[in-house]
């Protein structure tokens, strides 16, 4: 009895609400993005050009976006998850709507290299997503302290973290890794010379052993604390996201506190994170969302964002809007050799994820 | 008059007064609990919602049960969950004891002061609530970190040579929980101490009891309800605490709130996360029920 009534009421409501909107959406857009991921004037420019007011919320983890979207009716029109494994898996859960490429007039601005690397991992992803920013996961270190405690350390390699020869003497001044089991296991696998995508039980054991060996050397395992701690000199070596490490380096430079931070993407290979824009299936303003995504594919919009946040974008012709210092930064715009070693990790089966999380808890808490 | 009495005993007014809290409990406790219970019997899947159905309606009143106890069984196959529960209970119990040790003298002191000074002291206890809980916990990061205020002060005073690892330690977790929940201990204690009849204390002193004996034989037993209420208010939220161990505890602190988080956010296993939450609820409700029984019995004895 309850259900037909609900259906009728729902139908009535949707007629009342959606019909007038089908003609013209209200001038509103709800965006959910990573913190510190646009320039200070990006949204104002969008509103000035289109008359669409933007409600802007931020998050600091892919898990947060995923949980909100999976609960349904998040109310967001545009979200920015990482392509792999998050967005690719979320497509399987059918929580995004396919993009209407007709409405994306700037689609041709996308860089071919980025399109190819997305397609190579998951060919369905471009039906639902437009790439936004790209960053490798790397290592940031305090030059002065590392030279003092571990002279001659290979500051271009994962050795700095995973090789006890260098990691042990650096323990006293602080090493951190990301609280992201996928990132750390992938890093351990490439350090061991194995395929970072491997799900082989033997490789898993070897990676776990490598991490457990250096576990006592880790001051903490955290995904954002290292930015400040590295900049303040509280931490010596940090495994972190490229853009975040660049921010730590910038902050240390601005503070003039004698802390000299260097950042590198390891020669063995670095995981590359491609964050994408997508429209949830139940987005209240899908038309405005398309307008926004189209806006975010313009070189004069995205260029200044790269300049502000220190992440490379996926749009051609943005060089004119990015300062020379940023453009010559090998962390933001890596050399072709480094790019060749970039890797992505596609979604894993649920059983593997559970095993990985369990092992990660064991490594972290000794339980 | 007779009719009036019957009206107040069985009438609409009484039912309303009793009904409102019950309605509150049904809407904000029982319903969410039942939703959680249902999810805990399902299995996770990739989809929306990210769990399977527990019942399959076959039309009319007949249905088939698809759910299982497998999530609960799983909780006992891995010692992670039991150690997390045990560790949470331990941390909550120690924090509660610390709150009691610090809060009791404060509450007693406030209840013995008169007039303006008492209002001021009470205000000082309540004042931290004007700042968000999260911000106050963040402030401790600034105090405890290795280049923070406390280490800076100790280094400057020459008490230590190198910074102490205060932050990201069990110590920081105890400190954070005790600090955050202290007002919840002080306020009920104060309420019960303030109501205490001062003449009882005078009588005890007149009969030759030393201050310590007065405290142990008169003040403490009379404030017992405040002690219990305050301890419950600290212990129960402290068990499920997530923010403090997450921000101050670093990685090695195992608490059930963090295990719940990783089941939900990392494994995306809502059913197992629900089962973890249900067990936690049972752990919390059992002592409450026991205490209420005990209370009723001891009142019956009197």
> What is the structure's pLDDT at B234?
95
Cβ distance of B266 and A366 shorter than 8 Å: no
Cβ contact B266:A364 at 8 Å: no
Please tell me the predicted confidence (pLDDT) of residue B169: 87
Residue A171 has pLDDT above 80, yes or no: yes
Query: How close B45 comes to chain A (CA, Å)?
Result: 9
User: Counting beta carbons within 10 angstroms of the beta carbon of residue A316, is it exposed (0 to 12), middle (13 to 18) or buried (19 or more)?
Assistant: middle
Is B83's Cβ below 8 Å from some Cβ in A? yes
**B297: region left, alpha or beta (phi > 0 left; psi from -120 to 50 alpha):** alpha
A188, A179, A177, A193: which is closest to A357 by C-alpha?
A: A179
Query: In whole angstroms, how far apart are CA B184 and each of A117, B58, B170, B226, B234?
Result: 55, 50, 22, 11, 6
Comparing C-alpha atoms, which of A233, A234, A163, A231 is closest to residue A192?
A: A163
In this prediction the ipTM stands at: 0.76
Predicted confidence (pLDDT) at residue A16 exceeds the cutoff of 70: no
d(CA B188, CA B105): 13
Task: Tell me the pLDDT tens digit for each residue of A216-242.
Answer: 999 889 888 899 889 988 899 999 998
CA-wise closest residue to B276 among B242, B246, B247? B242
Determine contact: B84 vs chain A, CB below 8 A: yes
- Asked if A222 lies within 8 A of B251 by C-beta distance, the reply is yes
Shared fold status for A26-128+279-297 and A136-271+345-365: yes
Residues found in chain A? 367
* Per-residue pLDDT, A295: 97
The HSE-up count of residue A48 (CA atoms within 13 Å, CB side) is: 5
CA distance A267 to A312: 19
Using pLDDT thresholds of 50, 70 and 90, give the confidence band for residue A77.
very high
Percent of chain A predicted with pLDDT > 70: 94
Q: What is the pLDDT of residues A22-60, one digit of tens each?
A: 457 899 999 999 988 999 999 999 999 999 999 999 998
CB contact under 8 A, B251 and A221: yes
Contact of A87 with A128, CB cutoff 8 Å: yes
Alpha helices in B157-197 (DSSP H): 170-194
Nearest-CA distance from A325 to chain B in Å?
A: 31
What crossing angle do the helices spanning B115-126 and B170-194 adopt, rounded to 10°? 150
Q: Which chain B residues are closer than 8 Å to A353 by Cβ? A: 266-268
Q: Does any CB of chain A come closer than 8 Å to the CB of residue B251?
A: yes
- Asked if A282 reaches chain B (Cβ–Cβ under 8 Å), the answer is no
Residue with tokens 């409102």: B20
**Interface check A220 vs B, CB under 8 A:** yes
Q: Rounded to a whole number, what is the distance in Å from the CA of A365 to chain B's nearest CA?
A: 4
pLDDT value, residue B251: 76
Does the CB of A365 have a partner CB in chain B at under 8 Å? yes
For B251, the closest of A66, A72, A220 (CB atoms) is A220
In the prediction, which pLDDT does A65 show?
93
Whether residues B252 and A361 touch (CB distance < 8 A) is answered with no
Compute the nearest-CA separation of B60 from chain A (Å). Answer: 11
pLDDT at residue number A5: 43
CB contact under 8 Å between B80 and A364, yes or no, is no
Closest CA to B94 of B289, B241, B216, B258: B241
Indicate the burial class of A140 (C-beta count within 10 angstroms; 0-12, 13-18, 19 or more): buried
Q: What is the pLDDT of residue B10?
A: 61
User: Does B80 reach chain A within 8 Å, measured CB to CB?
Assistant: yes
Whether B131 has its CB under 8 Å from any CB of chain A: the answer is no
Q: Identify the pLDDT of residue B301.
A: 56
Mind listing the pLDDT tens digit for each residue in A109-118?
999 989 998 9
- pLDDT beyond 50 at A20: no
pLDDT at A4 (0 to 100)? 44
DSSP class of residue B285 equals H
Contact list, A354 vs chain B (CB under 8 Å): 267, 269
Nearest chain A residue to B138, by CA: A225
Interchain pair A70, B146: CB under 8 A: no
CB contact (8 A) between residue B265 and residue A72: no
Q: Where do the domains of chain A lie?
A: 26-128+279-297, 136-271+345-365
Supply the Cα-derived Rg of chain A in whole angstroms. 22
Provide, as residue numbers in chain B, all residues whose Cβ is less than 8 Å from the Cβ of A364. 251-252
- Give the residue with greater pLDDT, A33 vs A337: A33
**What is the per-residue DSSP string for A83-111?**
IIIIIHHHHHTT-BPPP-GGG-TTGGGB-
Q: How confident is the model at residue A8 (pLDDT cuts 50, 70, 90)?
A: very low
To the nearest whole angstrom, how far is the Cα of A220 from the nearest Cα of chain B? 6
- 83-142 of A, contacting B, C-beta below 8 A: 89, 92-95
Residue A2: the pLDDT is 41
Q: Are B279 and B289 in contact (CB under 8 A)?
A: no
- Residues whose CB is less than 8 angstroms from the CB of residue A80 and which lie 6 or more positions away in sequence, other chains included: A32, A33, A34, A37, A65, A132, A275, A276, A277, A278
Quick one: pLDDT at residue A3?
44
Cross-chain CB nearest to A63 (options B50, B79, B265): B265
Whether A258 contacts chain B with CB within 8 A: no
pLDDT for res B1 = 46
Class of A26-128+279-297 in CATH? alpha beta
Shortest distance between the Cα of A212 and any Cα of chain B, in A, equals: 13
**List of chain A residues whose C-beta atoms are within 8 Å of the C-beta of residue B145:** 229, 234
For residues B147 and B163, the answer to whether their CB atoms sit within 8 Å is yes
Mean pLDDT, contiguous 10-residue spans, chain B (302 residues): 52 85 91 94 86 83 84 91 93 97 96 92 92 93 87 90 85 95 96 90 89 90 92 92 89 88 90 94 83 74 53
User: B20 to chain A, minimum CA–CA distance in Å?
Assistant: 25
The rounded distance, in Å, linking the Cα atoms of A332 and A319 is 13
How is B210-246 classified by DSSP, letter by letter? -HHHHIIIIIHHHTHHHHHHHHHHHHHHHHT--HHHH
Q: Residue B9: its pLDDT value, please?
A: 56
Could you give the CA distance from residue B141 to residue A303 in angstroms, rounded to a whole number? 36
B265–A67 CB contact, under 8 Å: yes
Question: B-chain residues within 8 Å CB-CB of A239?
Answer: none
Q: Which residue of A has its CA nearest to B252?
A: A365
CB contact (8 A) between residue B168 and residue A221: no
Q: How do beta strands A78-79 and A175-177 pair?
A: unpaired
- Flag whether residue A256 sits within 8 Å of chain B, measured between CB atoms: no
* A1 interfaces chain B, CB cutoff of 8 Å: no
- CA distance, residue B180 to nearest chain A CA (Å): 22
CB–CB of A93 and B46 under 8 A? yes
State how far the Cα of A84 lies from the Cα of A323, in Å rounded to an integer: 29
Residue of chain B nearest A68, judged by CA positions: B265
Other CB atoms closer than 10 Å to residue A19's CB: what's the count? 9
Q: How far is A184 from chain B (nearest CA, A)?
A: 14
Which positions 14-43 of A are in contact with B (Cβ < 8 Å)? none
Which numeric CATH code is attached to A136-271+345-365?
A: 3.40.190.10
Taking the Cβ of residue B259 and every Cβ of chain A, the question of whether any pair is shorter than 8 Å is answered with yes
Residue with tokens 């995981």: A271
Of A63, A67, A220, the CB nearest to B168: A220
Which residue ranges form the domains of chain B, and what is each CATH number?
78-268 (1.10.3720.10)
Are A232 and B252 within 8 A, CB to CB? no
């Amino acid at each position: 009895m309850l259900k037909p009534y609900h259906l009728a009421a729902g139908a009535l409501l949707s007629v009342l609400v959606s019909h007038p909107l089908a003609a013209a959406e209200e001038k509103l857009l709800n965006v959910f993005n990573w913190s510190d991921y646009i320039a200070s004037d990006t949204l104002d420019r969008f509103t000035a050009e289109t008359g669409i007011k933007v409600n802007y919320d931020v998050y600091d983890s892919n898990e947060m976006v995923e949980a909100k979207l999976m609960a349904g009716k998040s109310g967001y029109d545009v979200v920015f998850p990482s392509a792999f494994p998050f967005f690719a898996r979320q497509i399987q859960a059918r929580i995004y709507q396919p993009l209407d490429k007709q409405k994306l007039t700037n689609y041709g601005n996308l860089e071919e290299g980025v399109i190819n690397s997305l397609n190579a991992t998951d060919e369905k992803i471009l039906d639902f997503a437009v790439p936004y920013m790209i960053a490798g996961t790397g290592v940031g270190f305090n030059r002065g302290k590392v030279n003092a405690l571990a002279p001659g350390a290979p500051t271009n390699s994962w050795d700095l973290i995973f090789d006890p020869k260098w990691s042990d003497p650096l323990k006293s001044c602080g090493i951190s890794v990301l609280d992201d089991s996928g990132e750390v296991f992938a890093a351990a696998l490439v350090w061991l010379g194995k395929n970072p995508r491997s799900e082989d039980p033997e490789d898993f054991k070897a990676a776990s052993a490598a991490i457990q060996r250096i576990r006592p050397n880790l001051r903490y395992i955290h995904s954002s604390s290292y930015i400040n701690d590295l900049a303040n000199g509280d931490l010596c070596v940090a495994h972190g996201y490229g853009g975040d490490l660049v921010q730590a380096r910038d902050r240390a430079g601005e503070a003039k506190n004698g802390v000299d931070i260097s950042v590198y993407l390891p020669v063995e290979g670095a995981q590359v994170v491609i964050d994408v824009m997508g429209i949830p299936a139940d987005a209240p303003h899908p038309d405005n969302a398309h307008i926004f995504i189209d806006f975010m594919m313009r070189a004069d919009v995205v260029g200044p964002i790269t300049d502000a946040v220190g992440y490379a974008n996926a749009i051609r012709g943005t060089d004119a809007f990015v300062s020379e210092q940023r453009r010559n930064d090998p962390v933001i715009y890596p050399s072709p050799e480094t790019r060749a070693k970039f890797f992505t990790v596609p979604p894993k089966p649920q059983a593997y994820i559970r095993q990985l999380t369990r092992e990660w808890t064991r490594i972290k808490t000794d339980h | 008059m007779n009719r009036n009495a019957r009206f107040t005993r069985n009438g609409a007014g009484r039912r309303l007064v009793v009904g409102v809290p019950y309605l509150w409990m049904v809407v904000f406790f029982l319903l969410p609990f039942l939703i959680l219970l249902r999810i805990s019997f399902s299995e996770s899947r990739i989809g929306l919602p990210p769990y399977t159905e527990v019942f399959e309606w076959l039309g009319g009143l007949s249905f088939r049960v698809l759910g299982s106890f497998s999530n609960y069984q799983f909780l006992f196959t891995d010692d992670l969950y039991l150690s997390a529960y045990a560790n949470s209970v331990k941390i909550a119990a120690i924090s509660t004891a610390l709150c009691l040790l610090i809060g009791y003298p404060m509450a007693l002191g406030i209840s013995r002061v008169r007039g303006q000074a008492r209002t001021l002291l009470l205000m000082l206890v309540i004042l931290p609530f004007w700042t968000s809980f999260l911000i106050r916990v963040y402030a401790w990061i600034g105090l405890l970190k290795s280049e923070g205020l406390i280490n800076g002060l100790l280094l400057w005073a020459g008490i230590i040579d190198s910074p102490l690892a205060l932050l990201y330690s069990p110590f920081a977790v105890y400190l954070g929980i005790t600090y955050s929940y202290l007002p919840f201990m002080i306020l009920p204690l104060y309420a019960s101490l303030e109501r205490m009849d001062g003449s009882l204390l005078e009588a005890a002193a007149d009969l030759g009891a030393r201050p310590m004996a007065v405290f142990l034989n008169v003040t403490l037993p009379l404030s017992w309800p405040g002690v219990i209420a305050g301890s419950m208010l600290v212990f129960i939220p402290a068990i499920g605490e997530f923010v403090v161990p997450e921000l101050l505890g670093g990685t090695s602190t195992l608490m059930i709130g963090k295990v719940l988080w990783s089941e939900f956010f990392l494994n995306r296993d809502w059913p197992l996360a629900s089962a973890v939450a249900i067990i936690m609820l049972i752990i919390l409700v059992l002592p409450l029920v026991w205490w209420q029984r005990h209370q009723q019995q001891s009142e019956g004895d009197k």
